[in-house]
Amino acid sequence: MELPWIVLIIVSLYSLNAMLAFGFLTNEERKCKYARIEKLLRIRCYDMDLKEVPQNLKTSVEVLDLSYNRIRKLKSGSFSKYTDVKFLMLYENMILSVEPGTFAPLTSLQEVDLSNNGLTTIPMELFQLPRLRNLYIDSNELRSLDLELLEKPIQAPLEYLNVANCELQDIPDLGILPKLWQLNASMNPLHNFNIDRLANFCHLSVIDLTRTQLSSCSCQQVGNHLVMMQAHQKFVPICMEKLDSSVCPLPYNRTIDSETFHSCQTSVELAEARSLWLFGAGCFGGVIFVLLVVWYCVHRWRKKRAKRRRLSQVQDRKKFVISPRNAINRTKTDDEPLHCDIARP
């Protein structure tokens, strides 16, 4: 065999071994990674070319990152094992559909990121999760969003909602959201913007309407509403012209003076009163519990002390013995008392 062929074979074998080693290393690196973040168990299955939600992860996971994969469909049993999840990242997948009941088991979920997918609607069950505060569903295909089947009022205590870049014609009508303080609806046309929708958000502090196509009147109405709300106007388009109230009526009677806005405020007040009542009841119950524990400990201590006293009295008591005089005369009647002598120490 000629020398060039030998060199070629050696180089080929070396390259093959290197490729295999690199392949094994890559597979090893592409395993889901476990870590702890502020005492929360995080599992990161980032950019692993997954086609579905893996079912072999630790069920105690609290932060689950499945972003940058190729998941197309979420099934009803996708998260049934992971009921402790608090933060769920599903952005940059290919999710087109979500089966009913998919998110129902996630009663501890506080934040979900479904941005940059192909969803045409928001999964309705998300709005019934009791702890969901932050919802990212931007950069989806929500242009014809249909929320007729949405049960109102929603149960989720939403505080942040991101529906940016979804080709929306108007802000979604989710009903009253008393805790919502930030709304991002930027990069949407909003041709049919309805100022009445802002009455649902009685604690709105920040609204992002940049790169939208609001009409001049809508722009002015939003600005006036935010002024009355003392909300942040940094991300609201600057109105190029000021319209007369006859052309663009002030929105106050339709927003902050509306029945919807007052209902929103009432629900907040009721929630605060309920929280205060629960806090007071908890404190009262805690005090009662502490008093009961103290009383029980004192009662036990007193019983033990009384028992020790009785034992001490028994030990200190002088013993009595039958006197020998009783055995001298057996002719005495039975009812005659016996003689007792005190035992000497």
Whether 331 shows a pLDDT value over 80: the answer reads no
Q: pLDDT by residue (tens digit) across 252-299?
A: 889 999 999 999 999 876 665 566 666 667 777 788 888 888 888 887
Q: Which of 25-39, 64-78, 331-345 has the highest mean pLDDT?
A: 64-78
Distance between CA atoms of residues 136 and 221, nearest Å: 26
pLDDT at 99: 95
21 band by pLDDT with thresholds 50, 70 and 90: very low
In angstroms, rounded to a whole number, what is the distance separating the alpha carbons of residues 201 and 267?
A: 11
Containing 190, the helix (H) or strand (E) segment is none
Q: Report d(CA 155, CA 128) in Å as an integer.
A: 5
Q: Where are the domains of the chain?
A: 29-157, 160-167+178-301
Q: Average per-residue pLDDT in the chain? A: 84
The CA-atom distances, in angstroms, between 148 and each of 123, 124, 171 are 12, 10, 14
> What percent of the chain has pLDDT above 70?
79
29-157 homologous superfamily: Ribonuclease Inhibitor (3.80.10.10)
Instruction: For residue 186, give the 3-state DSSP assignment.
Output: coil
Least confident stretch, 98-102, 104-108, 226-230, 330-334: 330-334
Q: For the chain, first and last CA: distance in Å?
A: 116
Nearest CA to 232 out of 209, 251, 256, 205 is that of 205
**pLDDT at position 27:** 40
Sheet of strand 134-136: strand arrangement: 33-37, 40-44, 63-65, 87-89, 111-113, 134-136, 160-162, 182-184, 206-208
Q: Which residue has the tokens 């242009």?
A: 143
Confidence grade of residue 85 (pLDDT, cut at 50, 70, 90): very high
Per the CB < 8 A criterion, the answer to whether 43 and 67 are in contact is no
So what's the pLDDT on residue 309? Answer: 79
Q: In terms of C-beta distances under 8 Å and separation of at least 24 residues, what long-range contacts does 76-80 make, across chains too? A: 76/100, 76/101, 76/102, 78/52, 78/53, 78/102, 79/53, 79/103, 79/105, 79/106, 80/105
Assess whether pLDDT exceeds 50 at residue 28: no
Burial 306-324 (b: 16+ CB within 10 A, else e): eeeeeeeeeeeeeeeeeee
Rounded Cα distance, 132 and 311, in Å = 63
Taking 60 as the threshold, does the pLDDT of residue 166 lie above it?
A: yes
In this structure, are strands 63-65 and 40-44 parallel, antiparallel, or unpaired? parallel
For residue 237, the model assigns a pLDDT of: 85
